[in-house]
Amino acid sequence: MLVEKKCYSKEALDLFQSLIIDKLKTAKEDLLVLEESKSNDTNDTFKQFDKDEREEDVKFKLNKILRQRKFIQSLSMALIRIENGTYGICHCPICQGELIPEYRLKLVPHTTKCIDAKPA
């Protein structure tokens, strides 16, 4: 018995790819701004803060940079899934390979799971 592989049409995948590329471009630009703002902080700027506030500010900026890098990596992996034909297929055990709804992919194009599999 031949099992039909579930996947989105070429047109839908092209739309998702375009959406992801746009988001990736914006995310990379945002990362550059974050990294520049971190490196542009001077001691003069920090004179107004005490030591604890400076450390919290640095931690906050570093966390934002790390989250942005992770987001960029997730978007890049989504492009790879488009190329290898696995984009839009839910990886949760509940769905067993069903397609993630289009509306979810439009909102979160780097997702690998349906909304039912998303942790609460």
Question: Domain with 70 in it: what CATH number?
Answer: 1.20.120.910
Task: Kindly state whether residue 78 falls inside one of the protein's structural domains.
Answer: yes
Contact present, 91 and 69 (Cβ < 8 Å):
no
Task: Kindly state whether residue 71 falls inside one of the protein's structural domains.
Answer: yes
Task: Kindly state whether residue 1 falls inside one of the protein's structural domains.
Answer: no
Q: How many domains does the chain have?
A: 1
Per-residue pLDDT, 48: 57
Task: Kindly state whether residue 65 falls inside one of the protein's structural domains.
Answer: yes
Rounded Cα–Cα distance for residues 86 and 36 (Å): 36
Q: What is the pLDDT of residues 48-86, one digit of tens each?
A: 556 667 778 788 889 999 999 999 999 999 999 999 999
Rounded Cα–Cα distance for residues 13 and 29 (Å): 24
Percent of the chain with pLDDT over 70: 82
Domain around 65:
10-40+50-117
Task: Kindly state whether residue 2 falls inside one of the protein's structural domains.
Answer: no
Task: Kindly state whether residue 84 falls inside one of the protein's structural domains.
Answer: yes
